[in-house]
């Protein structure tokens, strides 16, 4: 691909008038590219004529690195995929390993996984909603969202000592049982969260200017969402009620009662608000899981130190905060995966940027990018 530098070019529009097109490189170092994304934006005045995301600035070759590590050693690598939602990548990978090596996970471990992943969903969505706030200039909304996120990160710190890369979910279970008093601490956080989330909803989505900035911006139709493989809040914002927790139930989700909020218009506003409502639903799920969880082992018994699955392949996916996150593993019978492939929802959602941004202004481009909520650790891998 050719690299374009900032330039002014004369082109003609449909009516044959001469238009000065301005090519702006937004990123890779820019306050609102959510990591290291670069968008080559062709502008006519302030209107985007063409927007092209350039990815790869955070490529570390995680899928290749996995081929040289044992199955257990890959778990810390998956932490670095979606670094605002590490628990998901851990879990998706572990599910693929468990399917490959026929490992049965104890029930308590499944409940713990559901609890931490729903907490992670709230934490991740708060990052997304907060970033949308920062993108539109509502920095206070960002801080409020991060206040909610911080409570959850503190819970994770109690759980595994880490605040960002948890390495908590392991093949066969989780790394350690819940510490004493954790369930009470978690219950307190989850009880307080819905009120804080509704407050954030009033503060940000209830604001006249914020609604004006996000309504009708970057509209994605339900057909396009399906055709382009959009999943997670991006698809649900367009009214596609696709959620793997309901559509391909895994773990203990069938025993839990929850709703899947969907948007109507498919614009940036609905994509953002869906995340907020999902967070409230997650609180419901966690409360039920905390009630149902029983004592027991948190690791599969008889698990060998070195997992050597039979030769073959396995794919498993879970509903991460960004959509359906899948991990495909191929084994040749050795203790290391022969091949690992990650189906990254952030990558699939990001490709919509070029379609959604055309015709909107630079200000909207930033809002649209924020509403797609990509995390570049997972996009670039």
Partner 1 sequence: MTSTLIGLLFGLLAGLAIALAALFGVWWERKVSGRIQLRFGPQQAGPAGLFQTLADTVKLVLKEDVTPAAADRTIFKWAPLLVFTPVALSLLAVPFATGFAPLDTGVGMLLFLAVPSVSVLGVLLGGWASANTYGTLGGMRGAAQMVSYEVPRTLSVLSLVVVAGSMRPTIVMGAWRWWWLPLFAAGFLIYLISSIAEMNRGPFDLPEAESELVAGYFADYTGIRWAIFMMSEYGAMLAASTFGAAVFLGGTNGLPGALGVIVLLLKAVAITTVVIWVKWTFPRFRQDQLMAFAWKVLTPLALLQLLVAGIVAIWL
Taking the complex as a whole, how short is the minimal distance between the CB of residue 82 and partner 1, in angstroms? 22
Sheet holding 323-331, edge to edge: 312-320, 323-331, 339-343
- What is the smallest separation between the CB atom of 24 and partner 1, expressed in angstroms? 5
Assess contact for 311 and 348: CB atoms under 8 A: no
Longest dimension (CA), the chain: 74
Task: Out of 62, 138, 357, 379, point to the residue binding partner 1 (CB under 8 A).
Answer: 138
19, 24, 176, 300: which one contacts partner 1 (CB under 8 A)?
24
- Please tell me the distance from the alpha carbon of residue 19 to that of residue 1, in angstroms, as a whole number: 25
Q: Which is nearer to partner 1, 141 or 152 (CB)?
A: 141
Q: What is the DSSP string of 185-245?
A: HHHHHHHHHHHHHHHHIIIIIT-HHHHHHHTTSS---HHHHHHTT--HHHHHHTT----HH
The tokens for 46 are 């302030």
Measured CA to CA, the distance from residue 327 to residue 190 in angstroms comes to 30
> How far separated are the first and last CA of the chain, in Å rounded?
20
| Binds partner 1 by CB under 8 A, chosen from 190, 298, 366, 368 | 366
Please state, in angstroms and as integers, the Cα–Cα distance from residue 223 to each residue in 163, 230, 239, 347, following that order: 38, 10, 10, 19
- Map 49-88 to HEC letters: EEEEEECCCCCCCHHHHHHHCCCCCCHHHHHCCCCCCHHH
Residue with Cβ nearer partner 1 (32 or 165): 32
Is 96 in contact with 325 (CB distance < 8 Å)?
Answer: no
Q: Interface residues for partner 1 in 335-364 (CB under 8 A)? A: 361-364
Q: What is the DSSP string of 72-132?
A: TTTHHHHHTTSTT-HHHHHHHHHHHHHHHHTPPPPHHHHHHHHHHHHHHHHHHHHHHHHHH
* Number of residues this chain uses to bind partner 1 (CB under 8 A): 31
When the beta carbons of 140 and 292 are compared against partner 1, the nearer one is 140
Q: Binder to partner 1 among 137, 179, 249, 296 (CB under 8 A)?
A: 137
Sites for partner 1 among residues 275-334 (CB under 8 A):
none
Span interacting with partner 1, options 70-78, 105-113, 122-130, 139-147, rule CB under 8 A = 139-147
Contact flags string 190-209 toward partner 1, x per CB under 8 A: -------------xx--x-x
Site for partner 1 in 41-70 (CB under 8 A): 46
Pick 49 or 252: Cβ nearer partner 1: 49
Cβ-based nearer residue to partner 1, 118 or 364: 364
Between 70 and 207, CB nearer to partner 1:
207
What is the spatial distance between Cα 164 and Cα 89, in angstroms, rounded to a whole number?
12
Min dist. Cβ of residue 18 to partner 1 (A): 19
| Site residues (CB under 8 A) for partner 1, limited to 97-136 | 133-136
Considering the complex, state which of residue 144 and residue 258 has its C-beta at the smaller distance from partner 1.
Answer: 144
For partner 1, give the closer residue by CB, 167 or 363: 363
Q: 3-state DSSP call for residue 21?
A: strand
- Is-contact 346 371, C-beta < 8 A? no
Q: How far is the CB of 217 from partner 1 (least distance, A)?
A: 9
35 lies in the binding site for partner 1 (CB under 8 A)? no
Which residues bind to partner 1, rule: CB under 8 A? 6, 22, 24, 30-32, 46, 133-141, 143-144, 147, 203-204, 207, 209-210, 212-213, 361-364, 366
């Amino acid at each position: 691909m050719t690299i374009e530098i900032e330039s002014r070019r004369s082109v003609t529009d449909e009516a044959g008038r001469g238009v000065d097109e301005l090519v702006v490189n937004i990123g890779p170092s820019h306050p609102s590219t959510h990591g290291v994304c670069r968008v080559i934006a062709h502008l006519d005045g302030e209107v985007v004529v063409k927007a092209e995301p350039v990815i790869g600035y955070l490529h570390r070759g995680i899928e290749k690195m996995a081929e040289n590590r044992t199955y257990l050693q890959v778990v810390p690598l998956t932490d670095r995929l979606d670094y605002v939602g590490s628990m998901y990548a851990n879990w998706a990978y572990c599910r693929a390993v468990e399917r490959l090596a026929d490992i049965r996970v104890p029930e308590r471990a499944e409940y713990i996984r559901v609890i931490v992943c729903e907490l992670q969903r709230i934490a991740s969505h708060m990052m997304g909603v907060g970033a949308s706030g920062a993108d539109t200039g509502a920095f206070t909304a960002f801080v409020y969202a991060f206040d909610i996120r911080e409570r959850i990160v503190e819970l994770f710190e109690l759980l595994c000592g880490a605040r960002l890369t948890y390495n908590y979910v392991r093949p066969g279970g989780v790394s350690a049982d819940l510490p004493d008093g954790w369930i009470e601490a978690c219950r307190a956080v989850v009880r307080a969260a819905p009120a804080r989330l509704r407050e954030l909803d009033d503060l940000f989505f209830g604001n006249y200017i914020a609604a004006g900035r996000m309504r009708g911006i970057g509209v994605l139709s339900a057909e396009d969402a399906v055709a382009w493989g959009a999943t997670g809040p991006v698809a649900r914002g367009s009214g596609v009620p696709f959620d793997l927790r309901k559509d391909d139930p895994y773990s203990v989700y069938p025993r839990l009662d929850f709703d899947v909020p969907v948007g109507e218009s498919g614009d940036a506003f609905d994509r953002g608000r869906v995340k907020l409502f999902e967070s409230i639903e997650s609180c419901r799920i966690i409360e039920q899981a905390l009630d149902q969880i029983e004592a027991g082992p948190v690791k599969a018994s008889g698990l060998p130190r070195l997992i050597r699955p039979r030769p073959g392949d396995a794919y498993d996916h879970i509903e991460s905060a960004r959509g359906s996150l899948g991990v495909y593993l191929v084994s040749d019978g050795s203790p290391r995966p022969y091949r690992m492939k990650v189906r990254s929802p952030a990558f699939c959602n990001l490709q919509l940027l070029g379609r959604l941004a055309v015709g909107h202004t630079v200000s909207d481009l930033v809002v649209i990018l924020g509403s797609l909520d990509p995390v570049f650790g997972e996009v670039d891998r």
